[in-house]
A = this chain, B = another copy of it.
Amino acid sequence: MSETTIHDIAKKLNISASTVSRALNDNPIISKSTSKRIKKTALEMGYRPNSLAANFRTKRTNTIGIIVPLINRHFFSSVISGIEDLAYTQGFAVTISQSNDSFEKENKIAHTLFANRVDGLILSIGMETIKYDHLKLFAERKIPIVFFDRIAETIEAHKIVVDDFGGSLRATEHLIEQGAKRIAHIGGPLNLKIYQNRLAGYFKALERAGLEICDSLVIHNSLTRKDGTIAAQKLFQNENKPDAIFCANDTTALSTIIYLKNIGLKVPDDVLIVGFSNEPFSEVVTPSISTIKHPGFSMGRKAAELIIHQINEKVTRAVFETITMPTELIIRDSSKRIKIEK
């Protein structure tokens, strides 16, 4: 009933436990022949290494902690999938928690992961997070952190973001190319850098085209389905109605389209729409939604690569990179003004 240990194996073979340990860890110092004998009897005796003991001894868990706002969201589950995919090949386990965008929960999770001695942390911070003491914990103990998407600017760490600025610039320029003159923007909370950047890209495009920036055409909210509807409502009650909207996510793009349909306006005939993130639904709704593609899976793999590298290096880096993943404009029906072309 009780587990076989390396001592049991050692006793059986009349050798020492350390030799067994070395052999089982493929230490090249052990002769081929004894190593083979040891592995054979280990198998016979049904030995399974006690990684709890090993972890305790070596102070390494081979575990990467992940914190995301919500697992069940396409972008985040893509990233997680990418992290797991690479981590697995490198012998790391992955433990996941969701903050539900609550600072309190994020804080608790961070402490738990810290206590559980994860070797590294990959996270996207929650909407409420503006203090980073819970992350400084890790920094102090030299436990590597990699941020993705929603980053904490003041913490020194590798960061992986998508090119929000460039994507938004392209999206807005595309609307301009399609003939839009009064382009509105439905954006996210500005305490998050990603939404600052998306706003900036939008502004830049307007500026380049010599279009006026109009305060009444810019609305910020939490980008839920409902927020999109309310924003659209506001935009079309105005005097200065937009002829195009660049939405900071696909969810609001969708609810905007639905709202417009309800008040008798057609997309793209009356109003052009571009979203952001390329949610699975965007391709299949009517009209299909033009959007900016977010490379979730690759971001996850890259994040895993960076953190594992740091874990294995054990070198305290002075220099941290911010990696910007390329975005891609996907033009679909919601933003094609010129139907004649084809």
Contact = CB atoms under 8 A, between A and B. Distances in A.
A61 interface: yes
B74 A81 contact: no
A160 B290 CA distance: 39
Interface stretch (A44-52, A170-178, A240-248, A309-317): A44-52
B63 A95 contact: yes
A284 B254 contact: yes
Interface in A281-295: 281, 284-286
A43 to B, nearest CB: 13
A71 interface: yes
A115 interface: yes
Interface in A247-292: 254, 258, 279-281, 284-286
Contacts of A56: 50, 52-53, 55-56
Contacts of A50: 56, 117
Given A254-B284, A286-B286, A52 B117 contact: yes
Contacts of A51: 115-117
A88 B97 contact: yes
Contacts of A48: 114-115
Given A56-B55, A117-B52, A71 B61 contact: no
Contacts of A154: none
Contacts of A98: 81, 84-85, 88
A237 interface: no
A53 B56 CA distance: 6
Contacts of A5: none
Contacts of A115: 48-49, 51
A94 B118 CA distance: 13
A77 B72 contact: yes
Residue from A50, A109, A296 having most chain B Cβ neighbours under 10 A: A50
Given A51-B115, A52-B55, A80 B61 contact: no
Residue from A109, A112, A296 having most chain B Cβ neighbours under 10 A: A112
A239 to B, nearest CB: 31
A19 to B, nearest CB: 21
Contacts of A53: 56
A245 B210 CA distance: 53
A15 interface: no
A88 B96 CA distance: 10
A84 B99 CA distance: 10
Given A48-B115, A56-B52, A285-B285, A80 B72 contact: yes
A136 interface: no
A127 interface: no
20 contacts: A50-B117, A51-B117, A52-B56, A52-B116, A56-B56, A72-B80, A80-B96, A84-B96, A84-B97, A88-B105, A88-B109, A93-B97, A93-B112, A93-B116, A95-B95, A95-B96, A280-B280, A281-B285, A285-B285, A285-B286
